[in-house]
Structure 1
Amino acid sequence: MHQHGIGVWTARRRLKSPDKVALVHGEGDTVTYRQLADAVDRVSAALRQLGVGRGDAVAYLGENSPEFLQVMFAAAQVGAVFVPVNTRLAPPEIGHVLADCGARVLIHDPDLAGSVAVVGPAARPPHVVVTGAGGADRPGLADLARAADAGAAGPVETGHGDPAAIVYTSGTTGRAKGAVLTHGNLTWVALNCVVDYDVVSTDVALMISPLFHVASLGMGALPVILKGATLVVEKGFDPGRALAQIERHGVTMLSGVPTTYQLLADHPAWASTDLSTLAKLTCGGSAVPARILDAYEARGLSFSQGYGMTEASPGATALPPAMTRAKQGSVGLPHFFTDVRVTDAAGRPASTGEVGEIEVAGPNVFAGYHGLAGATAEAFTPDGWFRSGDLGHLDADGYLYISGRLKDMIISGGENIYPAEVEQLLAEIDGVVSAAVIGVPDERWGEVPWAVVTVRAGARVDTDTVRARLDGRIARYKLPKNVVIVDELPRTASGKVRKAELRARFAG
């Protein structure tokens, strides 16, 4: 039997570094690699007793915790597919994810029971389990794992081509699509990070970003565990607590988005916190503004920046700290095991400096969209490159610069917002005739969504009423921060909204 999937990682770490601290969580509780592997084995046995087998979807709705990682590796052990669910989604969005992947089991934090309770019966998996101890009316993961026979069976044979996870990303059609990431995808993206970010076994990485985001999972947790380093798992992000954790645990690695780093630098404890152990800062989501670079460089710190997407697991490029100023505005060079090119409208390689569509290839690029053969075919070129939908250009040294987004995606505080999803819901509001959603620069969040709408004569439509109507139907970060009423939306001859004109008018 050959084991090449991520399901054997914890067992191999138990062999190589059993007493090394793998996880730190809560108020300093530690988990060694032996303890992590033993826990994964018990959860794996519990999943088997629930009837989970090869190809079944195991959904997880919860904040960062040891249980998150236990379930992911346990699902991989039994040949199942792990489906991390964004905790910020509204119940209808959660229901769509569960129904689309056909989850056999949903494991969720007790605090999110309210969201789970209102998910429609058609989307509810056969088994719903809470993390920790359960109760009379609901089984608990800790109880099931304790009662299961961890030695009953070993890992299911898996290869790099087998699906390991389905990570949902909003699409331009307005419905979330599940990107199928294989065991190979997750292995190679971790290797890319080990090479390009110099991850070593003595590193201590602070995980303040949600693990349900593929960047935190694929480029944060997995490389650390692959190398046998230590992961400090934080349930959420609080700037003051994060600074305290850096000092307390001698954190060497930190990942986030520009908003994360801005909030840390703005905190009163920033100047007095000992940051001497920090050596590796990675930032994604959008370019790091000069004011943030200045604040960190004043403390002797610099960034690795990058570009990617869920479909690349997610890393595509990385800009090393040494080039942060020399190539300011660039997202760097392709990762070691990844290829990036820019093509013109005819699909030919663009010349140096010429703006075109960014395309990505490599063993970290996903297998396709779950259940969407047509969308998968459209996502790839005839020669197998993934079409990112983003615009950019390469300079003479091969460094990539992002010019714009074909898909008009908005990135707000590291969260992706696709206008089509919000526009569909705006169109359902009484009085709204047509709507366009654009990203407007925001000092704190990078971008925030604005809705530009035309309304029926006499209708009352404003920001408060729109947000109230959409609240609970989509995640709160997707709610328009402002609603602007115009006489008409600028359109092309074919009827498409000219969003570039709207951005020029309202985004400045």
Structure 2
Amino acid sequence: MPVIPGRRALRRARIALDDDLVLGGLMERLAEADPDRVLVDEVDGARRTVGEAAALVDGWAGAVAERVAPGGMVVVATPNGYDQLLLCLAASRAGAVPAPVNDRLRPAELEHIVDDADAALVVRSPDELPTDSPLGTAHPADAGDVGAVFYTSGTTGRPKGAELTHRGILGGLNRAALVPALGRGEEAVCGLPMAHIMGVAVAVGLACASIPVRFLPRFDAEAVLDEIEGRRAGIFVGVPAMYRMLLDAGAEDRDLGCVRLWLSGADAMPAALADRFSRMGGLATLPGVGRVGRAVFAEGYGMVETAGGVAARVALPYLPDAVGRVGVPLPGYRTRVVDPEGTEVGRGTVGELQLAGPGVLKGYRGDEDASRGAFTDDGWLRTGDLVRRGPLGVFTFEGRAKDVIVRGGYNVYAVEVEQALEQHPDVAEAAVVGLPDDRLGEVPAAAVTARSGADLDPEELRTWAHDQLSSYKVPVRVVVVDELPHSGTRKVQRAEVRDLFAG
């Protein structure tokens, strides 16, 4: 039965204002408000309405309930796709705790996660679960309970399972249900991994905002550009590495004036790169006039341990000075910046960002030592990220504490050197690491990739860097590689980069 518009608006408002919403009830609530709305149109996959997705979640929940006792862990190791999210919602609806993982993990890596989670069920394909015995009523859950476990990417060791609550994961994303109808006319193109918290947060936020998703299970730069251009999509969501690949695939030669909003997260976005994409999009398209203005570029800051975004910035057209900053904390989060001794530092001074708020993890599953080490004695999460607080409380990301290279007593921030190298017209991506040095302690070294068709000379790049940076920040070695090692969310794996300089 169709939902009367006024009743639909009321139901959407109730979703937005429900602080007790849990994962297992999310799709059911969205379906009550607007069952016939298109939720996702997957490339080479399914096209589902909200009502169809809700029915699928309930059907899979019935199958999970027959196999797993309440509180049991379900590792969802299916190929990347929107159904991976729906399977996680189904496990939660059945009273289990889902742990989505990348199906492209090596067997030993997946085995570690399955053992660490003490999984009662491992799902490798949606076809493994029948849908003919729907659950009907969701298992009772509290918003403060652990809603899912997300495993870290393992860039600093073996993956750890971050226990995140329902309230933390939803994190106010349900407020997106208040987006007015005028803002719901766009389609978003997205190719993020659903095994990562950013992919889940984006999908949930768009679902609550009633913005349909054109989802690409495997990111391919040319295919993404074809989708945006061909479908006249108004929104694209990706990580900085994806934006670099789009640029290298000829984004500036495409008609992307339909894009009103570029969204990025999971890693630091170079200011120059964000500015180039803002210029490709448009603020509006007027009949007989065409594209007007520049697109908005928005960036979120967060991590697995905070269930996604905790700070954001929006670069409005013609205000480029805001581009490249982390932004300001989201409502509900408290922040402080401290020196290595834990003393708060003043505005303009670099220090570690520490956080407290609703999305912060409860702890690492089965690892009390890691859980204790993640927090200060007075309960603040240690992010390990170095920031500088500027005017109006705006944070600027300076790098990871573990990525600071101390060269003869001088601090070299890897991100700063990378951004300088990436301003070179022929450099696609750069990664900077510290190498041991008998005299200076550490020295910076850089691995770079070239833009399509370009040839890079390492010594010429060192000269370029010398013109951009203080001499002690210039990499002593530069190597050109075909591709940098990345994680599932396209973050550079610095330990593997360091191996490039071995010997």
Gaps of 5+ in 2: 1-18, 282-293, 405-413, 419-430, 436-441, 452-478, 480-490
Q: Is the 8 A contact 1:316 1:340 kept in 2?
A: no
Which residue, out of 164, 170, 173, partners 1:190? 173
The residue type paired with residue 157 of structure 1 is P
Q: Is the 8 A contact 1:167 1:178 kept in 2?
A: yes
Give the 3 Å change call, closer, same or farther, for CA 106–384 of structure 1 in structure 2. same
The percent of aligned pairs where both chains have the same amino acid is: 28
The residue type paired with residue 42 of structure 1 is G
Deviation of the 1:380 alpha carbon: 1.5
Which residue, out of 65, 70, 84, partners 2:86? 70
Deviation of the 1:268 alpha carbon: 3.9
Pairwise mapping of residues 429-508 of structure 1 onto structure 2 (< 5 A)?
A: 440=446, 442-443=448-449, 479-480=496-497, 483-485=500-502
Which residue, out of 47, 55, 61, partners 2:77? 61
**1:156 matched to 2:149:** no
Aligned to 1:308: 302
**Residue 320 of structure 1 aligns to a residue in which SS?**
strand
Q: Distance in 2 between matches of 1:254 and 1:289?
A: 17
Q: Is the 8 A contact 1:22 1:32 kept in 2?
A: yes
The residue type paired with residue 4 of structure 1 is L
Greater displacement, 238-247 / 357-366: 238-247
Q: Is the 8 A contact 2:274 2:297 kept in 1?
A: no
Which residue, out of 184, 193, 198, partners 1:215? 198
Q: Distance in 2 between matches of 1:25 and 1:215?
A: 18
**Residue 311 of structure 1 aligns to a residue in which SS?**
helix
Q: Is the 8 A contact 1:283 1:303 kept in 2?
A: no
The residue type paired with residue 249 of structure 2 is H
Aligned to 2:327: 332
Q: Is the 8 A contact 1:182 1:367 kept in 2?
A: yes
How many residue pairs match? The answer is 408
**1:23 matched to 2:40:** yes
Deviation of the 1:205 alpha carbon: 2.1
Deviation of the 1:214 alpha carbon: 1.1
**Residue 378 of structure 2 aligns to a residue in which SS?**
coil
1:56-112 deviations in Å (ceiling 9; x for gaps):
11111233323212201101101211111123422211111111011111112xxxx
Give the 3 Å change call, closer, same or farther, for CA 335–198 of structure 1 in structure 2. farther
Q: Distance in 2 between matches of 1:6 and 1:199?
A: 27
Deviation of the 1:319 alpha carbon: 1.4
TM-score, length-normalised on structure 2?
A: 0.72
Q: Is the 8 A contact 1:21 1:30 kept in 2?
A: yes
Q: Distance in 2 between matches of 1:181 and 1:277?
A: 33
Give the 3 Å change call, closer, same or farther, for CA 373–174 of structure 1 in structure 2. same
Q: Is the 8 A contact 1:253 1:281 kept in 2?
A: yes
Q: Distance in 2 between matches of 1:356 and 1:248?
A: 45
Aligned to 1:472: none
The residue type paired with residue 73 of structure 1 is L
Q: Is the 8 A contact 2:61 2:91 kept in 1?
A: yes
The residue type paired with residue 303 of structure 1 is F
Which gives a bigger RCO, structure 1 or 2 (Cα 8 Å, sep 6+)?
1
Pairwise mapping of residues 345-356 of structure 1 onto structure 2 (< 5 A)?
A: 345-356=340-351
**1:387 matched to 2:382:** yes
Aligned to 2:355: 360
Q: Is the 8 A contact 1:380 1:386 kept in 2?
A: yes
Q: Distance in 2 between matches of 1:308 and 1:186?
A: 12
TM-score, length-normalised on structure 1?
A: 0.71
Q: Distance in 1 between matches of 2:233 and 2:23?
A: 25
Deviation of the 1:229 alpha carbon: 2.5
Pairwise mapping of residues 65-214 of structure 1 onto structure 2 (< 5 A)?
A: 65-108=81-124, 130-132=125-127, 140-141=128-129, 144-145=130-131, 148-150=132-134, 152-170=135-153, 174-188=157-171, 190-191=173-174, 200-214=183-197
Greater displacement, 87-96 / 67-76: 87-96
Q: Please, what is the CA RMSD of the aligned residues?
A: 3.7
Gaps of 5+ in 1: 109-129, 133-139, 424-435, 446-462, 464-474, 487-508
1:148-196 deviations in Å (ceiling 9; x for gaps):
311x541011111111111111568622111011101011152587899
Give the 3 Å change call, closer, same or farther, for CA 102–261 of structure 1 in structure 2. same
Q: Distance in 2 between matches of 1:334 and 1:198?
A: 27
Which residue, out of 321, 339, 347, partners 2:315? 321
Greater displacement, 96-105 / 339-348: 339-348
Q: Distance in 2 between matches of 1:39 and 1:94?
A: 26
